[in-house]
Chain A
Amino acid sequence: AQKVTQAQTEISVVEKEDVTLDCVYETRDTTYYLFWYKQPPSGELVFLIRRNSFDEQNEISGRYSWNFQKSTSSFNFTITASQVVDSAVYFCALSDVLQGGSEKLVFGKGTKLTVNP
């Protein structure tokens, strides 16, 4: 069965520090997709990134970067020069193909990031 583990329950940093959120996944599929979502205090889920299992290139988007390592089944997320607005719960998720071709997301338990001024 698919499983996503986010071992860090809560992280607290001071503004401008870099922070890395860990994500480890388990799957028997050879083709799969990984995602990160942000849930700010207002509660909505904001899509950040989707990565397929065949693309191990790291990705950078502004202050955000993602490190995908198939060998260790990890998909870690780094925020550089953190800001107070980055305070949120961050969820890593793995796609699970369902019958009929649709997919569901299997979420980790989330990491609550607090960035203090």
Chain B
Amino acid sequence: EPEVTQTPSHQVTQMGQEVILRCVPISNHLYFYWYRQILGQKVEFLVSFYNNEISEKSEIFDDQFSVERPDGSNFTLKIRSTKLEDSAMYFCASSEAPSYEQYFGPGTRLTVT
């Protein structure tokens, strides 16, 4: 069964460093998303991506964040200068079409020290 994959599973970084979180969505999916979940809290939308551009972003997704689809399979989230409060689980998701179920990857746990 096709699945969304994410690497790395855990990333530890120092405050101020840049991190890139990687995702491989399901191959025939066209809509891509990033969400984050601070430990013990609810899952929050960050950004949606379709047709090689951002469709929508939340207020969390400030200038420190960017997304890219560098090739036909990868979808990345970059945080330019990490802050302590960026520590969270980051989930990538993809869907075939709007309103269809979004399938989530296993997540990348980001720890900023």
Contact = CB atoms under 8 A, between A and B. Distances in A.
Task: Place the interface of chain A in its size category.
Answer: 20 to 34
A64 B1 CA distance: 22
Interface residues of B, number: 29
Nearest to B33: A104
Which of B35, B43, B44, B104 has the most chain A CB atoms closer than 10 A to its own CB?
Answer: B43
A103 B48 contact: yes
Given A43-B89, A91-B43, A109-B42, A102 B104 contact: no
B45 A50 contact: no
Contacts of B42: 91, 107-110
Given A33-B99, A45-B91, A109-B42, A99 B104 contact: no
Nearest to B3: A44
Nearest to B6: A44
29 contacts: A35-B101, A43-B89, A43-B106, A44-B105, A45-B107, A47-B103, A47-B104, A50-B101, A91-B42, A91-B43, A93-B43, A95-B99, A98-B48, A98-B55, A99-B55, A100-B50, A101-B55, A102-B48, A102-B98, A103-B31, A103-B48, A103-B99, A104-B58, A105-B35, A105-B45, A106-B45, A107-B42, A108-B42, A109-B41
